[in-house]
Amino acid sequence: MTPTRTESTYRRSYISSWVTGTVAFVALIVAGYPAVGAVAFGLAALVAVNLQREYEGPLFDERDDAIVKKASINTIFIFGVVSGIFFPTMTVLYALDIYQWPTWLTPIAWFVTTLFLLWGVNLLLARW
């Protein structure tokens, strides 16, 4: 089935809103305006959510869901493997006094820990 122009326009606008918001968020943080970046991202997110709500019918179908599912699985796998190698290695190097753990890495380590704890809880809930 060929998508109608309206569906195609909504999809492009939806994706563009997320991309624009993300680029603005990062660019404004780098420029020294993190609060403005957060507001810009929030506004773009509102636009995207409203576009999806306004469109009559599903904006994305089961093929899109399958693609997102596969990308999510791959992302979590790569993130897990890299984190599983990187953070223990950094901890050992720190313990051996070979490398000093930089302060900027601590919030990232906590984020990774929180991400995988959240994933684990959701995994248990899904099995329950």
Q: Residue 72's closest CA among 108, 14, 119, 24?
A: 119
User: What's the pLDDT band for 1 if we cut at 50, 70, 90?
Assistant: low
At 102 the pLDDT is 86
At 2 the pLDDT is 55
pLDDT over threshold 60, residue 73: yes
3-state secondary structure of 28: helix
Residues 59 and 14: beta-carbon distance below 8 Å:
yes
pLDDT over threshold 90, residue 52: no
User: Left (φ > 0), alpha (ψ -120 to 50) or beta: where does 100 sit?
Assistant: beta
Token pair in block for residue 8: 């195609």
Q: What b/e sequence results for 54-65 when a residue is b if at least 16 CB atoms lie within 10 Å of its CB, and e otherwise?
A: ebeeeeeeeeee
Cβ neighbours around 78 below 10 Å, total: 10
Mean pLDDT confidence for 44-67 = 82
Mean pLDDT confidence for 35-46 = 96
At 96 the pLDDT is 94
Can you give the residue ranges of every domain in the chain?
Answer: 1-60, 62-128
Percent of the chain at pLDDT above 70?
A: 96
